[in-house]
A and B are shown apart, each in its own frame.
Chain A
Amino acid sequence: MSDRYSQIVNSLPGRLIAGRVGLPQPTPLERHRPGAPVLAGRALLGAAPGGRLAGPLAKALADAGVETATVDADELRSAAADAGLDAAIFNAGAGGEQRFKALVFDATGIADSTQLVELQRFFHPTVRRLERCGRVVVLGTPPAACSGARERTAQRALEGFTRSLAKEVGRGATVQLVHVAPKAEGELASTLRFLLSPRSAYVSGQVVEIGPPVVKKAPAVDWERPLAGKRALVTGASRGIGAAIAETLRRDGADLVLLDVPALASDLAAVAKALDAETIELDITEEGAPAAIAERLSDGVDVVVHNAGVTRDRTIAKMPEERWSTLMEINLSSEERIDDALLEAGLLRANGRIVCVSSMSGIAGNSGQTNYATSKAGVIGMVEALAGDLAKRGATINAVAPGFIETQMTGQMPIAIREAGRRMNSMSQGGLPVDVAETIAWFASPASTGVNGNVVRVCGQSLLGA
């Protein structure tokens, strides 16, 4: 699983040689450590005039304890004052050596393409001040929610900017666009914390949608243990990404119910023991599986993570039906049935979460993976289909779409394919299972009440399907 290339090019001689011959030099990514601050450095807050998020952003930054500077604009300074954000002033013309760990820009004020220059004005003098593994978050309005054609055009344009900037920043930095729907201004906290923190180390070039909250009153959250008192089901939890998800949710305070097939019972037991978890040894494709799960979760469940999945690669010309169907059962159909069973029995508790694991293949497609990509695209469909319904129930459904994640499975790939997968992204490296798990934990957080119907790729901004 070790990424020897990264180790070599990050050694001193390796760095020199790689630099000379133009090889990619991946920056070691910072990852979250318990107790660490949201942002290990200063954030700079900027805004296009007339935006609606300066206040909410200032409040979210203040609540997150992020040391912040703002550009010297009255709107921002007043907003910061009102939010209790003790922010310094940054004046690009003043010189100095100030550097920032994060650049946060409220672009909601951009209502016309002529105003897109505000992006240039803010980022041109600041992007070089972004530190290693820095974070850029641009906030806009969902184009569909814009009032006029000009505004919609301009807001849609932001995506081109953030996706390109994500490819320019380098050095482990990430760039995201966050669409904040009207009436969702108060829902920034969990998403901003996730995107600013090292938890989102391998998430870049993404567009995140924040909508109105699915519950009337968002609960108070202990940000170190947001899932304290919550019950979470994780399928496919005995290995790899599943085990990382279990660990991460446990770290966040969840009581776990871990599920895997009987064949992996011993692996599952080992994971469960370490995490003080219940286990369900079950083949989810069995006919009685949904009922059995509902039975075990008769007290209700807060978070359901559909992680179980398999690959059965073959081109369609060589694909027998059995190979297609087994995969589809595991990766998609069983998930639908389990969801139905839990929802029908009313077992998904208030402010509940369903989190699915899609795949980059489900978005970009992949030769030899018609079956897999179909199932994972189906997962996206499921998220889109259920989001509205679940919102009405006060719950959310979202999906992660991992790119190249370093697991046992990728470790067995032929080296050429493995290296291509690792390097063909903005980070020039593969992600870790924990990167997927952190993203899932963000979706699962009871504070993420406005995050619904999202499919967020954890791919280091892979070149594929971008």
Chain B
Amino acid sequence: MNPKTRPVAVVGGNRIPFARSNSAYSKASNQDMLTAALDGLVDRCSLDGERLGEVVGGAVLKHSRDRDLTRESVLGTRLAPETPAYDVQQACGTGLEAAILVANKIALGQIDAGIACGTDTTSDAPIGLNEDLRELLLDANRERSTGGKLKQLARLRPGHVVPAIPRNEEPRTGMSMGEHCALMAAEWGIGRDEQDELAALSHHNLAAAYERGFNADLVTPYLGLERDQNLRPDSTVEKLAKLGPVFGGPDGTMTAANSTPLSDGASAVLLASEEWAAERGLPVLATFAEGQTAAVDHVHKREGLLMAPAYAVARMLDRAGLTLQDFDLYEIHEAFAAQVLCTLRAWEDPVFCRERLGRDEPLGSIDRDKLNVNGGSLAAGHPFAATGGRIVAGLAKALQERGGGRGLISVCAAGGQGVVAILEAPGDGATAKKTTKGGKR
């Protein structure tokens, strides 16, 4: 076994603009969008006919026909058909988890280059057969004689046509993610104003990023969209304050604006060894320095469903020998404004850090001016599995753009999970201290 690892470069990224549910991409399937995102990356990084080590991707809401979604998408692109691919799924952490998987193989020398990608559609959502009907049909299929089949089919009832529509609901708690987050917001005392401020800032930051052309080499137009459809550059706290709550009851603080909308989209990011990139004249935007996942017992231990990133980051920092303040940029996925604020509050809180993280001192505060500087999911939208790729590519570019530095990524996921990572770019811009040697244990 190879005991050595090598740096993993983030070489480039591409995504299609994210669309609001049942809108611009209502006719596009996951495979369509993923293919489009991949092809854009192929164009951008001149990967025509290239046989990559692997492509790893996935979708959270998948049709049964999308068994090998990523592989099928690869076959529709100009990548060499000899590029292997596999699907992963870790709820909203899918995209970032895919990047960790690819990065690890590159670090170990098992592959030289690979793409991590993700896609999701809430418009072309899989609608399942009514569970009773499904069982009936399976029973009929098991019958050998025509008479037996007919006998089973005679059980058909009008109610059987009611389909099973996938619900955004935690299987073990029966609550939606928004309801869970409302509980967290209450638990952490997160107010309406601060949530609306975060949402408005997200829109302003994303709009500014588009204005200065930041996304020009990160986003490829698709089906008539050139920018994320959810983006409202003129969002203000005052406007957002007028919205009624959608989660947490009539006194709730979570609205349609400070929660991410259902959206459609896909993203892809190219990772490679530094040598591979150099051979092809491709840039190294940043290196993929660390990755970490964590999960909480949201069912039985009174943990917030979306608090796992708070744990994951703490563990990752310990492993890397870093503090929470050793970063130049922070990318915290804005599933809900309240989720971001709960996470920040948790890191500042002596009780959480002592009781849950087992630390004598809190992780502390971050400089909010470094948070989601080019906009977040509240503005861009959040096609579940596509968010990780959006963030990795965007952060890598932002680090390179500022002339180096270190960035933290934190993504919360359903099922009480969290996926986090660290990107680093060398250069003068790296104000935060260097990773301590031997930090990796």
Chain A positions within 8 Å of B, measured between CB atoms, are: 69-70, 72, 74, 77-78, 80-82, 84-91, 93-98
Q: Would you call A97 and B350 a contact (CB within 8 A)?
A: no
- Which single member of B251, B252, B349 contacts A89 (CB below 8 Å)? B349
Given contact pairs A77-B349, A89-B345, A91-B191, A97 touches B356 in the complex (Cβ within 8 A): no
- At the interface, yes or no: B249 with Cβ under 8 Å from chain A? yes
CB distance from A42 to the nearest CB of B (A): 11
How far does the alpha carbon of A70 sit from the alpha carbon of B355 in the complex, in Å? Answer: 14
CB distance from A283 to the nearest CB of B (A): 58
- Chain A residue nearest to B253 (CB atoms) is A95
Q: Would you call B351 and A90 a contact (CB within 8 A)?
A: no
Q: Would you call A86 and B253 a contact (CB within 8 A)?
A: no
6 A-B Cβ contacts within 8 A? A81-B355, A86-B356, A88-B189, A96-B186, A96-B249, A97-B251
Of A69, A81, A97, chain B has the most CB atoms within 10 Å of the CB of A81
- B349 to chain A: which residues have CB within 8 Å? 77, 81, 89
Q: Would you call A90 and B189 a contact (CB within 8 A)?
A: yes
Q: Would you call B187 and A95 a contact (CB within 8 A)?
A: no
- Chain A residue nearest to B360 (CB atoms) is A81
How far does the alpha carbon of A91 sit from the alpha carbon of B187 in the complex, in Å? Answer: 9
CB distance from B45 to the nearest CB of A (A): 46
- Which single member of B191, B193, B351, B362 contacts A85 (CB below 8 Å)? B351
How far does the alpha carbon of A67 sit from the alpha carbon of B248 in the complex, in Å? Answer: 21
Top 10 A-B residue pairs of the complex, sorted by shortest distance between their CB atoms: A91-B189, A81-B350, A96-B186, A81-B354, A86-B355, A89-B189, A94-B191, A95-B251, A88-B187, A81-B351
- B187 to chain A: which residues have CB within 8 Å? 69, 88-89
- Chain A residue nearest to B250 (CB atoms) is A97
CB distance from A37 to the nearest CB of B (A): 15
Given contact pairs A86-B355, A95-B251, A96-B253, A80 touches B190 in the complex (Cβ within 8 A): no
- Chain A residue nearest to B183 (CB atoms) is A96
- Chain A residue nearest to B245 (CB atoms) is A95
How far does the alpha carbon of A94 sit from the alpha carbon of B354 in the complex, in Å? Answer: 24
CB distance from B300 to the nearest CB of A (A): 15
How far does the alpha carbon of A77 sit from the alpha carbon of B362 in the complex, in Å? Answer: 11
- A70 to chain B: which residues have CB within 8 Å? 351
- At the interface, yes or no: B185 with Cβ under 8 Å from chain A? yes
Q: Would you call A84 and B354 a contact (CB within 8 A)?
A: yes
Within 8 A of A (CB), among B144-203: 182, 185-193
- Chain A residue nearest to B192 (CB atoms) is A95
Of B187, B192, B193, B351, chain A has the most CB atoms within 10 Å of the CB of B351
How far does the alpha carbon of A76 sit from the alpha carbon of B330 in the complex, in Å? Answer: 28
Q: Would you call B355 and A84 a contact (CB within 8 A)?
A: yes
Given contact pairs A95-B251, A96-B253, A77 touches B191 in the complex (Cβ within 8 A): no
- At the interface, yes or no: B353 with Cβ under 8 Å from chain A? yes
- B182 to chain A: which residues have CB within 8 Å? 96
Chain B positions within 8 Å of A, measured between CB atoms, are: 182, 185-193, 248-249, 251-253, 345, 349-351, 353-356, 362
CB distance from B264 to the nearest CB of A (A): 32
- A94 to chain B: which residues have CB within 8 Å? 185-186, 189-192, 253
CB distance from A160 to the nearest CB of B (A): 30
Q: Would you call B188 and A88 a contact (CB within 8 A)?
A: yes
CB distance from B94 to the nearest CB of A (A): 30
- B249 to chain A: which residues have CB within 8 Å? 96-97
- A72 to chain B: which residues have CB within 8 Å? 189
- A84 to chain B: which residues have CB within 8 Å? 354-355
- B356 to chain A: which residues have CB within 8 Å? 86
Q: Would you call A95 and B252 a contact (CB within 8 A)?
A: yes
Q: Would you call A95 and B350 a contact (CB within 8 A)?
A: no
7 further contact pairs, Cβ within 8 A, besides A72-B189, A85-B351 = A70-B351, A88-B188, A89-B349, A93-B193, A94-B191, A96-B185, A98-B186
CB distance from B364 to the nearest CB of A (A): 12
Given contact pairs A93-B191, A95-B191, A96-B252, A87 touches B186 in the complex (Cβ within 8 A): no
- Chain A residue nearest to B353 (CB atoms) is A81
- Which single member of A87, A93, A96, A97 contacts B351 (CB below 8 Å)? A87
How far does the alpha carbon of A158 sit from the alpha carbon of B362 in the complex, in Å? Answer: 35
CB distance from A90 to the nearest CB of B (A): 5
- B188 to chain A: which residues have CB within 8 Å? 88-89, 91
- B354 to chain A: which residues have CB within 8 Å? 81-82, 84
- Chain A residue nearest to B251 (CB atoms) is A95
- Which single member of B248, B251, B351 contacts A77 (CB below 8 Å)? B351
- B185 to chain A: which residues have CB within 8 Å? 94, 96
- B353 to chain A: which residues have CB within 8 Å? 81
How far does the alpha carbon of A378 sit from the alpha carbon of B185 in the complex, in Å? Answer: 56
- B345 to chain A: which residues have CB within 8 Å? 89
- Chain B residue nearest to A87 (CB atoms) is B351
CB distance from B373 to the nearest CB of A (A): 26
CB distance from B89 to the nearest CB of A (A): 32
Q: Would you call A78 and B189 a contact (CB within 8 A)?
A: no
Q: Would you call A97 and B355 a contact (CB within 8 A)?
A: no
- Which single member of B186, B192, B350 contacts A78 (CB below 8 Å)? B350
- A89 to chain B: which residues have CB within 8 Å? 187-189, 345, 349
CB distance from A69 to the nearest CB of B (A): 8
- Which single member of A77, A90, A93 contacts B350 (CB below 8 Å)? A77
How far does the alpha carbon of A81 sit from the alpha carbon of B349 in the complex, in Å? Answer: 8
